[in-house]
Amino acid sequence: MDRTLDLAHRLARIGAWAGGALVILAAFVIGLDIVVRKLFVLAFGGAAELSGYVLAIASSWAFALALLDRAHIRIDSLYVHLPVRVCAMLDVLGLLVMLALAALLTWQGWHVFFQSWNLGSRAVTALATPLAYPQFLWLVGLAYFALVTALLLVRATHALVTGDIATVQRIAGSRTGQQDLEEELESIRRRGGGSGGDTAENHP
């Protein structure tokens, strides 16, 4: 199961990187459109429409990575004061609720895509974009989010039942400030910044 989650993590990262690249491309197109409109009183048309598609697609693919990295926002004012086992149970419950939400989004997204595909719907814009194409990429991102959530729920539930509370915390628990700091320091070391930190420690 852990190998499956590792693979899911890699695929989610690729999807998020691709979505980020699309966002940068959309920003470039919008910026170019603004410059051309200002200097030559011309407009490409469709820049705003394309950016809307990009935002939806990039967001749906980022959901899975945010869940796997535990980068989503959680209000843990009470959570941090509860017993560890209770926290683990709440983590599993949180994944269950998240799965219900992801499944609902995917189900509704499927209906939107299926209707657009059947009717051959096009955007009421100058581009007249066939809506089924961007909606399909958006739907796949939502479906992958639901799949990742289900995998995490199965793994966390198994760990909870077998008493492996550490694994529940690792894959579904709320991140602490210490964990964020350690990961940031590790990231700096991987980028070759460890020598600077050692120097600072040796020469306070």
For 35, 43, 44, 159, the CA distances from 39, given in Å and listed in that order, are 6, 10, 13, 61
pLDDT of residue 128: 82
Q: Where are the domains of the chain?
A: 2-175
pLDDT of residue 51: 87
Q: What percentage of residues in the chain have a pLDDT greater than 90?
A: 45
Q: What 3-state DSSP class applies to 122?
A: strand
Q: Mean pLDDT, to the nearest integer, of 86-108?
A: 93
Considering 35-44, 86-95, 138-147, the range whose residues carry the highest mean pLDDT is: 138-147
pTM value > 0.75: yes
pLDDT top residue among 136 and 84 = 136
Q: What are the tens digits of pLDDT across the range 162-185?
A: 988 988 888 888 776 666 677 777
Q: What is the 3-state secondary structure (H, E, C) of 27-95?
A: HHHHHHHHHHHHHHCCCCCCHHHHHHHHHHHHHHHHHHHHHHCCCCCCCCCCHHHCCHHHHHHHHHHHH
